[in-house]
């Protein structure tokens, strides 16, 4: 990825701008319309020559994306257009928030569990579920006939909404900071980016609540039907719970998912308050490994992640959850529908003084089971503990 999202522009940002543009109303030809729509990427900047540009992507003869700076109009900047360096400062803040505040989402992305979407051009994602099928036979020349199974499948879908938050630039303060040589104040951009990242992280865990589009909702790990539910044996933070009991319980869950023909690797998601318990000794003896160490000795368990948003239940009641989620890191079980990274756009003008911006993102969770209900997700819970 380029260092700055959309100054050295991402294709997604350009596609986003083309949706909002109205170039076809003014263009003389389809080719000119495409140029105008691409250049209307909602991220215009004032370059070193004092003129206004947007960076647009083009596919070269080798099939590679090349980025070209295209002058906007006659290049005359408006008072509300940001300098290139100001965009870079905003993008740096937004990028830092995306890295720091979406631990669960970033863990799935780092595991390669992403399905890229065409940004604003996709409003619904559809996939098919099938059951296990097919037989194999051994022979010397492949002439033996194999009974052909007739595959059964159904089709599911989910909406692809945009998660966004607004902030604004006060041009009076911006111009004053330019004259004094001070950097643009990015605190509003930080909090708008934080709001989007926070919402996205909670969405992956709790789902989108009552939001529906096309008659479909967006489930999270806690609400998806593509999961086996179990009762957690105890509050693991209790002094009476031993390391041996914890390890054996997780090992049992792994075997449950293996019986579903899901063989891992798995990650174990836990509330952050379980962290201390897992750092304690597995046995009450000298040089005993920690409970965490013994857990990670389970062959199929790749890692243990502590998710801060699992501390409380989805309804926000101030009770500490007792919960564990075993998740297979495989695209047939979980994926991130990735339509647009956390990106800042100019949005609309509120008179000559205020320039509004919008930070938006398209990253949504996809959890899947097959037609036979076999799944790689196990969710264990028990009654909450009063804080």
Residue-wise pLDDT for 238-254, tens only, equals: 999 999 999 999 999 99
Extract the tokens encoding 282.
């597995």
Which residues are CB-contacts of 319 (< 8 A; sequence separation ≥ 6)?
312, 313, 384, 385, 386, 387
Extract the tokens encoding 151.
């595959």
pLDDT of residue 203: 94
Q: What is the tally of helices (H) and strands (E) in the chain? A: 9, 15
DSSP symbol at 119 = G
DSSP H stretches of helix in 102-168: 103-110
Q: 7-46: string of b/e by CB count within 10 Å (b at 16+)?
A: bebbbbbbbbbbeebebeeeeeeeeebebbbbbbbbbbbb
Cα separation, 13 vs 342, in Å, equals 10
Helix axis angle, 103-110 to 84-101, nearest 10°: 90
Do 379 and 270 touch, CB atoms closer than 8 A?
A: no
Phi then psi for residue 66, to 5 deg, are -115, 150
Cis peptide leading into residue 265 (ω within 30°): yes
pLDDT of residue 39: 40
Which residues are CB-contacts of 165 (< 8 A; sequence separation ≥ 6)?
192, 193, 195, 196, 358, 359, 360
Cα separation, 364 vs 90, in Å, equals 24
Do 76 and 51 touch, CB atoms closer than 8 A?
A: yes
Whether the CA torsion 350, 351, 354, 360 is positive or negative: it is positive
pLDDT of residue 140: 64
pLDDT of residue 33: 45
Cα separation, 265 vs 58, in Å, equals 39
Q: What average pLDDT does the chain have?
A: 80
Do 204 and 377 touch, CB atoms closer than 8 A?
A: no
Could you read off the pLDDT of 213-238 as tens digits, one per residue?
A: 878 889 999 999 999 999 999 999 99
pLDDT of residue 38: 44
The ranges assigned to domains in the chain are 1-77, 228-336+368-386
For residue 45, give the nearest of 26, 21, 67, 69 by alpha carbon.
69
Cα separation, 94 vs 87, in Å, equals 10
CB < 8 Å & 24+ apart, contacts of 206-210: 206/309, 206/314, 207/314, 208/161
For residue 101, give the nearest of 335, 362, 317, 309 by alpha carbon.
309
Cα separation, 380 vs 322, in Å, equals 8
Could you tell me the fold of the domain covering 228-336+368-386? Answer: hypothetical protein PF0899 fold (3.30.2320)
DSSP H stretches of helix in 118-235: 171-180, 187-206
Q: Is 241 exposed, middle or buried, given 0-12, 13-18 or 19+ CB atoms closer than 10 A?
A: middle
H/E element, 92: helix 84-101
CB atoms within 10 A of CB 180: 7
CA 260 remoteness from chain centre: 27
H/E element, 19: helix 11-20
Grouping H, G, I as helix, E, B as strand and the rest as coil, residue 152 is coil
Cα separation, 307 vs 304, in Å, equals 10
pLDDT of residue 259: 94
Q: What is the mean pLDDT of each run of 10 residues along the chain (387 residues)?
A: 38 37 42 44 78 75 74 71 82 88 91 85 80 65 64 78 86 75 83 93 91 86 92 92 94 95 94 92 81 94 91 70 93 92 77 76 92 90 76
């Amino acid at each position: 990825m380029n260092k700055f999202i959309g100054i050295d522009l991402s294709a997604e940002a350009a596609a986003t701008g083309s949706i909002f543009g109205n170039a076809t109303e003014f263009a003389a030809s389809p080719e000119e319309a495409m140029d105008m729509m691409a250049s209307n990427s909602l991220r215009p900047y004032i370059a070193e020559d004092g003129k206004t540009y947007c960076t647009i992507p083009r596919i070269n003869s080798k099939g590679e994306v090349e980025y070209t700076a295209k002058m906007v109009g006659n290049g005359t900047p408006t008072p509300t257009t940001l300098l290139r360096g100001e965009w870079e400062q905003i993008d740096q803040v937004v990028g830092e928030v995306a890295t720091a505040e979406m631990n669960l989402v970033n863990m799935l992305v780092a595991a390669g569990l992403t399905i890229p979407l065409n940004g604003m051009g996709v409003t619904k994602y559809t996939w098919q579920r099938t059951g296990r099928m097919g037989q194999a036979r051994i022979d010397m020349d492949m002439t033996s006939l194999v009974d052909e199974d007739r595959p059964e499948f159904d089709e599911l879908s989910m909406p692809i909404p945009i998660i966004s938050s607004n902030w604004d630039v006060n041009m009076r303060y911006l111009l004053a900071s330019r004259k004094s040589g001070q950097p643009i104040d990015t605190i509003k951009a930080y909090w708008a980016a934080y709001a989007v990242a926070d919402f996205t992280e909670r969405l992956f865990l709790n789902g989108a609540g009552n939001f529906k589009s096309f008659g479909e909702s967006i489930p999270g790990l806690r609400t998806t039907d593509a999961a086996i539910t179990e009762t957690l044996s105890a509050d693991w933070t209790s002094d009476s719970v031993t390391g041996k009991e914890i390890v054996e319980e997780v090992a049992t869950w792994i075997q449950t998912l293996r019986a579903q023909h899901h063989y891992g690797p798995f990650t174990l998601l836990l509330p952050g308050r379980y962290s201390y318990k897992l750092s304690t000794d597995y046995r009450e003896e000298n040089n005993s490994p920690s409970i965490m160490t013994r857990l990670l000795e389970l062959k199929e368990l790749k890692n243990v992640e502590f998710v801060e948003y699992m501390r409380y239940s989805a309804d926000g009641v101030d009770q500490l959850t007792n919960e564990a989620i075993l998740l297979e890191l495989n695209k047939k079980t979980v994926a991130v529908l990735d339509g647009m990274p956390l990106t800042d756009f100019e949005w609309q003008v509120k008179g000559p003084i205020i320039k509004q911006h919008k930070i938006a993102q398209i990253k949504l969770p996809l959890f899947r089971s097959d037609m036979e209900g076999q799944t790689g997700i196990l969710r264990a819970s028990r009654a909450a503990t009063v804080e």
